[in-house]
Structure 1
Amino acid sequence: MPTPDRTSLAEIVDAGRGILESGGPSKLTMQAVAERVGVRAPSLYKRVRDRDALLELVAGATADALADRLEASDGSLAALAHEYRAFARRHPEGFRLMFAVDGAAAAMARASAPVLRATRELVGQDAALDAARLVTAWATGFVNMELSGSFRFDGDLDRAFDYGLEKLSAGLRAR
């Protein structure tokens, strides 16, 4: 008789996301996840090939969580940008990992869909992808600078984000 499963892939991925956020990528190991879900490390290999696969699963789950947040917004460019920033601030390590791991491509495409819809409404079908890339690059750059403490001057970052978003949106509408 086979032994019963003591953990699920979802539990493994959730544990991985928690470890990533609390300790960073260097702490996200198969051993740490095994301890978190209450099994021995070799048991994880029944569900996850290796650490690289674990990183892909965690990145994909994080991108799926971002996609869920974006899809739950009102779909406006402003709402999407604010959700994107809020998500990154709540899950900074997962946010960074999404862009560092190739295996999250499908989930990242799902997260991109609401942004493409919003930019399509602003600039039309022909320029929607270019506009979505512009918005994403600006928001990602802003958020990464914020997360790393790279904004060295005094000032209100919320106001700066809103200012940039307003100018970017106005530029897209004026095209």
Structure 2
Amino acid sequence: MPYPAKTSAEEILAAAVELLEREGQGGLSLRALAAELHLSPNALYRYYPSREALLAAVAVQGAQWLLTDLQTATGALPQLAHIYLKFAQERPALYDLYMTCDSLSAAQRQIYDEHWELVVGALAPLAGAHSREAAITLWAYLHGLVGLERSGVYDVSAEKPRNTTDFGLGLLLAGLRELAR
């Protein structure tokens, strides 16, 4: 006899993302998610055998959304940077999970590798053989801006001080151009 489906993995994942964004990582549990979906917690185990598996699936979903957004960029470094910062600003809980989830399988890590290759590829014309180092530098800079904004030191949306994001990117580009000489 087939198992009667009252929900799907997609519905569960969508509800999990919503719960994460509303309650944060601490509020995302299988029990809380089951209550949100009006299911018994046991119904979720068929799709996600543990909280860690659920968190990994949510992190991958966020990574996929960010990758899709990054792929819309024309390859210009400032555009990539602003897309990344916008994601972190508009979806802070999802960004945090994306940055900290340590329960990803090798297959799930592939999306993170795709992010890496996209950024390295965008930097390759400027950085050449140093594109991987440039990618880490860019990532550290952007992640630092996210941290500064969250601490209240820097407001990305207000650009206070004005154009700091672009100023820093300009310094990185100037350094890459100098390196290429």
Q: TM-score over 0.5 for the alignment? A: yes
CA shift at 1:2, angstroms? 2.6
Bigger shift: residues 157-166 or 115-124: 157-166
Query: 1-side partners of 2:41 and 2:162: how far apart?
Result: 43
CA shift at 1:38, angstroms? 3.2
After superposition, give the CA deviation of every residue in 1:65-96 in whole Å (9 maximum; x if it has no partner). 11111011111111100100001111111111
1:133 aligns to what?
136
CA shift at 1:107, angstroms? 1.7
Aligned-pair Cα RMSD in Å? 1.9
After superposition, give the CA deviation of every residue in 1:3-59 in whole Å (9 maximum; x if it has no partner). 321111122122111111111111101122222333221100001011011111111
Alignment check: 8 A CA contact 1:64 1:111 kept? no
One-letter amino acid of the counterpart of residue 69, structure 2: R
1:61 aligns to what?
61
Alignment check: 8 A CA contact 1:64 1:110 kept? no
1:87 aligns to what?
87
Q: Which runs of 4+ in 1 moved over 2 A?
A: 35-38, 147-152
Residues 46 and 80 of structure 1, relative CA distance in 2, 3 Å threshold:
same
1:168 aligns with 2:168: no
Q: TM-score, normalised by structure 1?
A: 0.90
CA shift at 1:158, angstroms? 5.7
Query: 1-side partners of 2:141 and 2:163: how far apart?
Result: 15
Alignment check: 8 A CA contact 1:67 1:112 kept? no
Which of 108, 113, 118 aligns to 1:114? It is 118
Unaligned runs of 5+ in 2: none
Unaligned runs of 5+ in 1: none
CA shift at 1:139, angstroms? 0.6
CA shift at 1:155, angstroms? 6.8
Bigger shift: residues 143-152 or 44-53: 143-152
1:148 aligns with 2:151: yes
| Count of residues in correspondence between the two structures | 173
